[in-house]
């Protein structure tokens, strides 16, 4: 029977971690293992997981920690879990989410078997916890289900919106082996960076079935970023810089550069308008914005690679 590995990074998740782990073992039609990586928690998360392992020997659950019980972030935690996993297919499940469909894993494996071009299969979500935009989250993570098998990086909005819920995704192990996803990050969107890098290796598919409960609460990573526009800008820019550092010279790199130009201009605009008590700069002071927009053009970078920048400036005089 096919083995599926569920990797669960956990940082101070004592309120949710046991429900998360238990939900993995209701899966039917496949064998599953749960690999919990405690990311330097200061609460009782690790103790609760250890107790669960001791009292439920029939379940394949493992607990790992970083050296010195450091807090290294979710990317490093997923990488550590992946290194200790054995499954042909790998799922990343956030500690505050949980599975609600016992057929999730079997449905995803069936999609992989039917289409060898697929490297990732994700699904729709249900939302738990109060949030005024809960329907918006559901619609966002269902949007790609209309495409059938699709190439993620070719979607118009793949650099603008992340429409893949991390806790629903299943990835071929052979594909993850080829992608570097253990990146040092200051902000968020590490899963978005992984989806874009992984898209170079094959297609994705979305199953329009709500298999996973996506929890919204005040302390969630999503809330942490969503409530602060400035934090969102920096998270998005960092995400794309990570991709640029990993994808080499490629069409994906060119698309990222063009997208970064827009993000940086938006950030500069934020500092000049929204970040200054909403006061709009006088027209005569907006010149630097136009200059920066020109300097951030991806074509300037390409010209530099061919040592043509001096000619560009010479012709502009």
pLDDT in tens, 101-144: 999 999 999 999 999 999 999 999 999 986 656 788 899 999 99
Does pTM top 0.95 for this prediction?
no
Q: Where in the chain is the domain with CATH 3.90.550.10?
A: 3-219
pLDDT in tens, 233-282: 888 888 888 888 888 767 888 888 888 888 888 887 777 766 554 444 45
Contact 169/92 with Cβ under 8 angstroms? yes
Separation between Cα atoms, residue 287 and residue 293, nearest integer Å: 10
* 222 alpha-carbon distance from chain centroid: 11
| Secondary structure (3-state) at 211 | strand
**pLDDT tens track, the chain, 317 positions:** 999 999 999 999 999 999 999 999 999 999 999 999 999 999 999 999 999 999 999 999 999 999 999 999 898 999 999 999 999 999 999 999 999 999 999 999 999 999 999 999 999 999 998 665 678 889 999 999 988 999 998 888 888 889 999 999 999 999 999 998 777 766 678 898 899 999 999 999 999 999 999 998 766 666 566 667 788 888 888 888 888 888 876 788 888 888 888 888 888 777 776 655 444 445 555 555 555 555 555 544 444 444 443 433 333 33
Write the CA distances from 181 to 76, 83, 94, 237, 263, integer angstroms: 8, 12, 16, 17, 22
Residue 153, H or E segment: none
Radius of gyration over every alpha carbon of the chain, rounded to an integer in angstroms: 22
The CATH topology of domain 3-219 is Spore Coat Polysaccharide Biosynthesis Protein SpsA; Chain A (3.90.550)
Q: What angle do CA 236, 241, 244 make, to 5 degrees?
A: 130
Separation between Cα atoms, residue 165 and residue 186, nearest integer Å: 21
* 47 alpha-carbon distance from chain centroid: 28
């Amino acid at each position: 029977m096919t083995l599926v590995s569920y990797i669960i990074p956990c940082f101070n998740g004592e309120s949710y971690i046991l429900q998360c782990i238990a939900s993995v073992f209701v899966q039917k039609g496949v064998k599953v293992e749960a690999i919990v990586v405690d990311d330097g928690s200061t609460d009782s998360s690790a103790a609760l997981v250890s107790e669960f392992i001791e009292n439920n020997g029939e379940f394949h659950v493992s607990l790992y920690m970083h050296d010195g019980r450091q807090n290294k972030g979710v990317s490093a935690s997923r990488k550590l879990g992946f290194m200790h996993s054995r499954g042909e297919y790998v799922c990343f499940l956030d500690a505050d989410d949980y599975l609600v469909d016992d057929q999730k894993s079997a449905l995803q494996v069936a999609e992989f078997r039917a289409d060898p071009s697929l490297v990732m299969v994700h699904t729709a979500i249900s939302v738990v916890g109060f949030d005024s935009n809960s329907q918006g989250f559901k619609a966002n993570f269902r949007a790609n289900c209309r495409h059938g098998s699709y190439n993620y990086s070719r979607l118009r909005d793949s650099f603008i919106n992340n429409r893949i819920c991390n806790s629903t995704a299943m990835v071929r192990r052979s594909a993850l082996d080829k992608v570097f996803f253990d990146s040092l990050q200051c902000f968020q969107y590490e899963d978005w960076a992984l989806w874009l890098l992984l898209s170079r290796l094959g297609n994705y598919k979305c199953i329009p079935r709500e298999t996973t409960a996506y929890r919204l609460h005040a302390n969630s990573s999503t809330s942490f970023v969503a409530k602060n526009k400035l934090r969102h800008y920096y998270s998005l820019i960092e995400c794309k810089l990570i991709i640029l550092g990993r994808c080499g010279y490629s069409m994906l790199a060119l698309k990222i550069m063009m997208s970064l130009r827009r993000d940086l201009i938006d950030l500069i605009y934020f500092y000049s308008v929204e970040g200054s008590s909403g006061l709009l700069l006088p027209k005569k002071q907006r010149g630097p914005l136009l200059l920066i927009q020109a300097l951030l053009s991806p074509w300037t970078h390409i010209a530099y690679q061919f040592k043509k920048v001096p000619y560009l400036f010479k012709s502009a005089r």
